[in-house]
Structure 1
């Protein structure tokens, strides 16, 4: 483990019965970054973070978090990690404020600040069983951030949250980044990963398919950007179309009786716009579709299905273990 690595995983494997959920996985999490694990259900994301936190004992491989073994040195690690896990629960009768006091220890000022930040101050005396799903999710986020941990693990951070609460959760993660806290985020919300994550790791069948900044995965695997507008019969349109085809980054120009469609990389959007301005042919119905991380992940998963080994392909058909 280097000084810049908060988490180092080498050769991690974990099975449940005959199902191999994590398969010889290597992973590094850099200090101060927000790293997202993305992939379909059953990709092994939750099991991976549970092993990193010491909640699951791996079948094989080595893990180090802040240089410590999560299995044998869990007590030393516990104060350094905060987590909001997908299947967290509290006793039904435990009040929200009592949970914060229990987890906060001696200093409750941080808890009061977080309750206020996530709109739970008025629910302080409400029993856990009486909280809505979104309120429970916000409470677990509060508990994860108590004590200002150096590593925060968030599994489906905004599941069940309304738009306002989702905005507050995103702001909290952004503040953690500014404070230098390392965040490991498991999410199915790919717009969330694009906004929050410095890097993302795409997983399938317990393996890493690709990793990098969200925009890098989009560039490598996303579909082309598309610009579309209604076809016109104005003089010089053929000349304009020829110019569009020669522009940097343009892959093709398709013309039908109804529409002109230009496809290319993201840089092509600027070149096409400039060409339309020069030609004084700016369409009033121009639409632009830019590839997203969701497009990239779908293309990546589709493109790798045929390369899975037979056992891995069979595991994909079995379904989600975690």
Structure 2
């Protein structure tokens, strides 16, 4: 397999803002081709989003970066063509139902179909298979993986692989396309100290071949360029053979220098965390409820005074004296009209 020339990684004021606030911002880096870069920090600090943004898989919202000679976020498609993802959980997971041989053949087929020149598709099928087999063997040799040492050889199921062997397989598939930048996420996840040392030795060997490597981890070893996420960056990064230059120190909120990453604020908070919190609004006094004395007070002026109650109606049944008087009154009225 040809040794590709690695891509330089540069960024200035690089940032990404999501609907819940800043994921990362003010990222600055200047790494030479063939560098081994460790993106170090705790889980949830935005390190995976930065990895995807630097490989053209996620669009940044401020600043710019350059991968090779391709400027982000404008040339995302061009950056994707020269970069490859190793293991990134939730993005390009291995198919647990396939065998190692099937997974490798699938990776070679996809690379040939989408990344290879059109003329390669016109070659005879036998030639294409032979070329794919050669590239697979070279990729396996580059990551130090020998399928013959697996329990069932190439017929070993992917789900039966140890964590370190799964990492080797993912990196081998990524190298089939000859990328200039290789990016990996959660490199040291579920690895022992000895396995972690082997994984970093693997990435260092890939960088020695000329490919720039960017790896997300919780703790980076000595001899690599380190960008620390989530917390304050160290005054001077740990550098090794393929580190390249780091960005000059710029003033930051935390007062740090070197390669600087100022990470996003907590979800839902777009303000400066160092700013004092606003004073709470004074509580409005509640109106006092009228007591019994107020209810017995004089009526309000805007309400009309209550009218006096009407006298009760007289009962319909009267005594005998009253009836006699009524009859005499009727006779007198008839006499006046001449009807008596």
> TM-score, structure 2 length as denominator?
0.53
SS in 1 for 2:70: coil
CA deviation vs aligned residue, 1:280-299 (integer Å, no higher than 9, x gap)? xxxxxxxxxxxxxxxxxxxx
SS in 1 for 2:95: coil
Q: Is the 8 A contact 2:181 2:213 kept in 1?
A: yes
CA separation in 2, counterparts of 1:13 and 1:38? 17
CA separation in 2, counterparts of 1:312 and 1:57? 16
Equivalent position to 1:97, from 80, 97, 101: 101
| 1:169 to 1:118, Cα distance in 2 relative to 1, 3 A | farther
Equivalent position to 1:77, from 79, 84, 89: 79
SS in 1 for 2:44: coil
CA separation in 2, counterparts of 1:178 and 1:150? 12
Count the aligned residue pairs.
Answer: 220
Offset at residue 45 of structure 1 (A): 1.8
| 1:146 to 1:215, Cα distance in 2 relative to 1, 3 A | closer
RMSD across aligned C-alpha pairs, in angstroms? 3.7
| Match runs of 1:1-322 below 5 Å | 6-69=8-71, 73-87=75-89, 88-104=92-108, 105=112, 106-115=131-140, 117-121=144-148, 122=150, 123-161=153-191, 165-190=195-220, 192=221, 194-195=222-223, 197=224, 199-204=225-230, 209-210=233-234, 212-214=236-238, 314=266
Unaligned runs of 5+ in 1: 217-301, 305-310, 318-322
Offset at residue 40 of structure 1 (A): 2.6
Offset at residue 76 of structure 1 (A): 3.6
CA separation in 1, counterparts of 2:235 and 2:210? 22
* Greater share of helix: 1
CA separation in 1, counterparts of 2:215 and 2:268? 23
CA deviation vs aligned residue, 1:91-115 (integer Å, no higher than 9, x gap)? 3323222222232344332422443
Offset at residue 34 of structure 1 (A): 1.4
Offset at residue 51 of structure 1 (A): 0.4
CA separation in 1, counterparts of 2:264 and 2:208? 39
Offset at residue 120 of structure 1 (A): 3.7
Greater shift, 152-161 or 42-51, is seen at 152-161
Q: Is the 8 A contact 2:164 2:199 kept in 1?
A: no
| 1:185 to 1:7, Cα distance in 2 relative to 1, 3 A | same
Offset at residue 313 of structure 1 (A): 6.1
CA separation in 2, counterparts of 1:137 and 1:215? 24
SS in 2 for 1:28: strand
| 1:140 to 1:54, Cα distance in 2 relative to 1, 3 A | same
Higher Rg: 2
CA separation in 2, counterparts of 1:209 and 1:12? 16
* Greater share of strand: 1
> TM-score, structure 1 length as denominator?
0.56
